[in-house]
Amino acid sequence: MKVFIGGSRMVSVLSSEVRQRLDEMLANHLPIVIGDAPGVDKSVQRHLHSKDYRDVEVFCSGTRCRNNVGNWPTRQVAVDSSKRDFEFYAAKDLRMSEEASFGLMIWDGKSAGTLMNVLRLIKQNKKVVIFEAPKHSFLELKTESEWKDFFSSCNDEIKLRIEKLSGTVPKVAAPTQASLL
């Protein structure tokens, strides 16, 4: 079982709850795939490195990784564009969601990219644990029905962003607005 860990670029400090959950994964010797972004990715990398955890692979879009704190093996995901936009970085996220058995997403309550990762995993019938940082609580989603319930409680701004992004990211199951709500 391989876990995809991701989250908001705005979260740079991991809560004690998240560190404890990560330590449980390490104790169970779970392989981890993680991106190279600042914020959650880099903070989780720092935590894993501080524990001298080696079963980590860092995914990067394009030819260069932004962050690889533990000097772990990297996977560069080919991207057609050199433009560093949402679609450019979403390529590595899609690959991680495909390879992982489940996900842990640390969400700041605002990051559309984090929720797109949740949606990708759910669409692949994979469990996702979301740590809602503002609430300091974990939420587990396993089904599209649970996703719909969660998504319906999001604010209108984030709903609009997810609906727009889910229709523009190639190769990602792009649900219609009705299926998101």
Determine the Cα–Cα distance for residues 124 and 110; give it in Å rounded to an integer: 23
**Residue 25 CA from chain centroid, whole number:** 16
Per residue in 104-117, pLDDT (tens digit) is 999 999 999 999 99
Residue 134 token pair? 């503002």
Residue 83 has phi, psi (to 5 degrees) of: -70, 120
pLDDT at 114: 97
Kindly list the structural domains of the chain, giving each domain's residue range(s) and its CATH number in brackets, ordered by start.
3-146 (3.40.50.450)
Per residue in 62-92, pLDDT (tens digit) is 888 999 999 999 999 988 777 787 888 889 9
What pTM, to 2 d.p., does this model score?
Answer: 0.89
What mean pLDDT is predicted for residues 31-48? 98
Strand order of the β-sheet with 102-107 is 74-77, 56-61, 32-34, 3-7, 102-107, 128-132, 137-141
